[in-house]
Amino acid sequence: MFSRKDFIIKSTLAAGAGTIGLEALAATENKTTMKTKPPLIIATWKNLKATEAGWLSLQKGGSSLDAVEAGAMVPEADPADMSVGYGGLPDRDGKVTLDACIMDYKGNAGSVAFLENIMHPISVARKVMEKTPHVMLSGDGAFQFAIENGFKKENLLIDKAKEKWLEWKKESKYEPVINIELHDTIGVLAIDANNHIAGACTTSGLAYKVHGRVGDSPIIGAGMYVDDEVGGACATGVGELVMKTLGSFLIVELMRQGMTPQQACEEAIRRIVKKYDCSKSQATSPSTKKGDIGAYSIQTGFMYSLYAENENRIVEVEKHID
């Protein structure tokens, strides 16, 4: 069980663990430690309902793939979440366009990009993975595929999002300031009872983006990546930075070379910060390696949700790159 002290964990926390059974959080230099063990599900940001849905799926014998899909579907259908699916803020032309990807423990992957009018892009991504020889479908083609596979055409632009867009249009100033926007792209990673990992990521992307813009979230290796031998990672923040560094793949590869999830997150973000202007951006990546969890953030305010050992909690991540 987690203690109250563990509830708020600094960004410097590294959750270290082995590959089976009880996992102990291994501290790296001056890091907090905690213990957890699979099965588990983590999600970026405050997404306790998503981790709960994924956890319930795991409890019913669902696979990690079922769990991450169930988790991602929660904010997709929630109009209060204005960064994902239904209720998402539109692009500069007033269109809600969605990006999502999913990956299983065998390395199968599916994704959709620039998809409109479909409530659950994550489920379409899964269908792409399971029913086509392809990995990614985009735009009209992705929409056609969704309709052919039984998804309903729906208007995703809610009144509140439309009002915000109309307000934005008065100045039409495009400035992605992720944390201030309270963006909420969801990346989910789960490890099931068979110790297999899966990941999902879903978003409406940056608000007021150029029509046609696709971010990191549907790009396997950028917004999310899992490898059953190593672990997984997902990213949230300004997607352009994550795409240029293939952030999630990088983190998994760094873990493969022996870094803890925390060290790997820190190193990946260090590279972004070194190379690019990050003054208005954030790129954060919780990752898990058979029960180890790491998280790192350029800006303050990042947190992730974790359901493990029958407890659903928020883990706050403090800024620690200046």
Sign of dihedral through CA atoms 109, 40, 251, 243?
positive
- Choose one: 148-156, 214-222, 263-271, 296-304; the region binding ligand SD4 (CB under 6 A): 214-222
Q: Which phi and psi angles does 286 have, rounded to 5°?
A: -75, 150
Nearest to 240 by CA among 200, 260, 210, 195: 210
Indicate the residue among 237 and 261 with the shorter CB distance to ligand SD4: 237
Shortest Å distance, C-beta 239 to ligand SD4: 2
Shortest Å distance, C-beta 149 to ligand SD4: 24
Q: Pinpoint the alpha helices (H) of the chain.
A: 4-7, 48-59, 64-76, 121-131, 139-148, 159-171, 178-181, 239-245, 247-256, 261-275
Shortest Å distance, C-beta 310 to ligand SD4: 28
Shortest Å distance, C-beta 214 to ligand SD4: 8
Residue choice 31, 120, 127, 183 for contact with ligand SD4 (CB under 6 A):
183
Number of chain positions touching ligand SD4 (CB under 6 A): 15
- Choose one: 35-43, 69-77, 150-158, 233-241; the region binding ligand SD4 (CB under 6 A): 233-241
Residue choice 52, 184, 192, 266 for contact with ligand SD4 (CB under 6 A):
184
Q: Is 239 a residue that touches ligand SD4 (CB under 6 A)?
A: yes
**CA atoms within 13 Å, Cβ hemisphere of 178:** 24
Sign of dihedral through CA atoms 281, 219, 191, 26?
negative
Q: Reduced to 3 states, what is the DSSP secondary structure of residue 241?
A: helix
| CA separation for the pair 217, 223 (Å, rounded) | 4
Shortest Å distance, C-beta 206 to ligand SD4: 5
Q: Is 216 a residue that touches ligand SD4 (CB under 6 A)?
A: yes
Indicate the residue among 67 and 238 with the shorter CB distance to ligand SD4: 238
Binding residues for ligand SD4 restricted to 46-105, rule: CB under 6 A? 83
Q: Is 238 a residue that touches ligand SD4 (CB under 6 A)?
A: yes
**Which residues does the annotation mark as catalytic?**
185
Q: Pinpoint the alpha helices (H) of 23-63.
A: 48-59
- Choose one: 54-62, 114-122, 211-219, 254-262; the region binding ligand SD4 (CB under 6 A): 211-219
Sheet holding 109-115, edge to edge: 136-138, 109-115, 98-103, 197-203, 186-191, 40-44, 302-308, 311-317
Other Cβ atoms less than 10 A from the Cβ of 156: the count is 21
Q: Is 305 a residue that touches ligand SD4 (CB under 6 A)?
A: no
